[in-house]
A and B are shown apart, each in its own frame.
Chain A
Amino acid sequence: MKLPKLSVLKEKVEPLGKVEVSPKLQEVSAFFSIVRKEFTDYILSWRIIILLAIIALTSLGSLYTAISTIKDTLSQSSDAQEIAKSSYLFLKLFTVSDGTLPPFITFVTFLGPLLGISLGFDAINSERNKGTLSRLMAQPIPRDYVLNAKFVAALLINIVLFFTLGFLVMGLGILIIGIPPSFEEFMRIIYFLILCIAYISFWLNLGILFSVQFKQAATSALSGIAVWIFFSLFYSMIINVITKGIMTSESLTSTEDYLSKQGFILNLMRLSPNYLFSESTTTLLSPSVRSLGPLTMEQTAGAVAGPLPLSQSLLLIWPQLTGLIAATLICFAISYILFMRQEIRTN
């Protein structure tokens, strides 16, 4: 059988004269084809479905404990309700718990990296191992589109997931407690969700970096999980050991000395993305947090005890946020360079 030429087909389908698509536009449409395909792959893969289910369940669980704590407090006295309205009660949905389950933010700090890593760890090496990378590369698309599109698709998953979860928690919160959030509370939650996405993007990019560097998906997954466990469990232990070493009562001679050592340890802590994230979320969701470093008595003297406005809270976490984004970009840049220089062939 003779195959009709593409041009003949084109005329058949578009008899009114074919529209010449510019190569640039063609490339953009190709980019979104990859994004669409990757997105579909993610939401159809068991790995992601299971993780999403776990995250959704834990957030609902923590929402439940938060709501029951808040309800208990509110029912204790009628004054409590009045106080609650003026003290950002709504934000407590994300931060308090009765001790049976950790609050929402703890879950995100803990499970977010796992989600990020699982979205990214086999981005490139699975294509390579399945032999689809060379086929993909033979199509008229720039090489970086593959990496960029995979990142964009995973980011989209994150955005959809976190906004869904955030709004779900808010909606249920309004229904059950019956107190609507103020505009500022709403904005704080939105910023919190954006922060979650930035935090997970970091882990996602770390996963992508490992997927470019390691040829085996298992190696890259294990490396990602190792980094995650290191930062969520061991890093704080190491810092504790260092603290014990340098903060002995003999070595501390003056307040300045104490402050500088405390600052040093704090900076060490801040090398961990988990710490940066928990600092920023605490600040955003608890407006009463005024500073992230140590404060002396002189500094607090005369300060009016009260919550910070949103703009001030944002200002406070600005360094943390830029630090997180910078770490994300560095991971992405390294994987980008590695990928652009890599040989396409498998062997």
Chain B
Amino acid sequence: MEEPIIELEGLTKNYDGHPAVDQLSLTIRKGEIFGLLGPNGAGKSTSILMMLGLSEPTSGMVTVCGLNSTRNPLDVKRRVGYLPDDLGFYQQMTGLENLLYTASLNGIPKKIADERAHDLLKQVGLSDAADKKTGKYSRGMKQRLGLADVLIKDPEVIILDEPTLGIDPEGVRELLHLIKQLNEQQNITVLLSSHQLHQVQQVCDRVGIFVRGKLLAEGNLDSLAKQLFFKDSYVVSVEATPISEALIEAINQLSEVNRVEHITNTKLDIYCQSDITPVIAQKMLEHSASIYHISKKNYGLDEIYHRYFEGRESIETT
């Protein structure tokens, strides 16, 4: 296991007495892509600002690259690239000039900055637009320029706040691919926040679900599903005839099965703790039922998310 590069300990931020971030503890390891997932206003951006030392935590500790962000924001900002959600550029300057300006703020000598800026523009596919004013850039181009802007200081960690916001699907695919590539080739740790689940799902090694200032669960998709719905992690849906009482009984007898839902005459939903699709199929055959369809419902993040919020609403109303 790699060393931790971002560590949050009991991080709390209050706005007018209301906690925006509440006792958040999180460890992100070097070289991974971590997705911070949550609805709008969950406190994702606030946490990110605290990691960069741009906002002061009410209590708790943030350590990034072994440095306390609140005390040494400048040293942290030298090592961390941040792509804000409301990204903007100086419109009267060209893409290249914008990059060079950022480089000069990081104290990178002109010659190196020039070479690196051109390399980066090539990598994000903006070589042709390098001398175009950023006021004329499309949203997707701006986002890619933003990525180049973040990378010009050669960061150890990049933090992307809603990087896929407002880009078309193809643009999102390219951007995520680029992020993945950076992570693999240069071992840059990536923290990205989003409320768009399937996008995060595509690239993240680990995901943290963040709601109302609290981290509900973290881990990879499998373990998340287990943490949130440890009982009914897998659902196997079967369509077969005939479905006899004995068959249902037999399936219920299996130790991994939690419950069986009889939906129609020919349809069953089987909630189980682990993936036992083959066992179920076998049972069916033993009871001489003919199977028309059998499938495993996989819990994507969408489902996890949706199910979590379904639960939340019922809690709120009661």
Contact = CB atoms under 8 A, between A and B. Distances in A.
A139 B116 contact: no
A141 B87 contact: no
Contacts of B115: 9, 12-13
Contacts of B255: none
Nearest to B119: A3
A7 B156 CA distance: 13
Interface string B59-101: 0000000000000001101101110101111111000000001
B54 A140 contact: no
A1 interface: yes
A340 to B, nearest CB: 11
Given A2-B185, A30-B105, A30-B106, A13 B112 contact: yes
A134 B81 CA distance: 12
Contact of A135 (B84, B112, B154): B84
A136 B86 contact: no
Contacts of A136: 105
A175 interface: no
Interface stretch (A21-29, A85-93, A234-242): A21-29
A41 B92 contact: yes
B28 interface: no
B77 A140 contact: yes
Contacts, number: 108
Contacts of A13: 109, 111-112, 115
B166 interface: no
Contacts of A30: 104-107
A137 to B, nearest CB: 6
Contacts of B88: 130-132, 135
Contacts of B151: 3
A82 interface: no
B105 A33 contact: yes
Contact of B75 (A33, A135, A140, A343): A140
A138 interface: yes
B149 A33 contact: no
A345 B47 CA distance: 12
Contact of A9 (B81, B87, B91, B112): B112
B314 interface: no
A34 B101 CA distance: 8
Contact of A3 (B82, B92, B186): B186
Contacts of B102: 135, 139
B120 A137 contact: no
A204 B97 CA distance: 27
B90 A132 contact: yes
Interface in A21-78: 21, 23, 25-27, 29-30, 33-34, 37, 41, 44-45
Contact of B77 (A2, A130, A132, A139): A139
B186 A141 contact: no
Contacts of A10: 112
A344 B84 CA distance: 11
Contacts of A7: 154
Contacts of B86: 131, 134, 346-347
B49 interface: yes
B154 A6 contact: yes
B54 A344 contact: yes
A344 B119 CA distance: 30
B120 to A, nearest CB: 7
B233 interface: no
Interface of A: 1-7, 9-10, 12-13, 21, 23, 25-27, 29-30, 33-34, 37, 41, 44-45, 130-132, 134-142, 343-347
Report, nearest first, the 4 A-B pairs whose CB atoms are least far apart. Answer: A131-B88, A26-B107, A6-B154, A138-B82
Given A3-B186, A9-B112, A345-B49, 19 more contacts: A3-B120, A3-B151, A6-B108, A6-B153, A10-B112, A25-B107, A34-B105, A45-B92, A131-B88, A134-B84, A134-B86, A137-B52, A137-B54, A138-B52, A138-B77, A139-B105, A140-B75, A140-B105, A344-B49
29 contacts: A2-B185, A4-B119, A5-B186, A6-B112, A6-B153, A12-B115, A13-B112, A13-B115, A26-B106, A27-B74, A29-B104, A30-B104, A33-B104, A41-B92, A44-B92, A45-B92, A132-B88, A134-B54, A134-B82, A137-B54, A138-B84, A139-B77, A139-B106, A140-B74, A140-B105, A140-B107, A141-B105, A343-B55, A344-B55
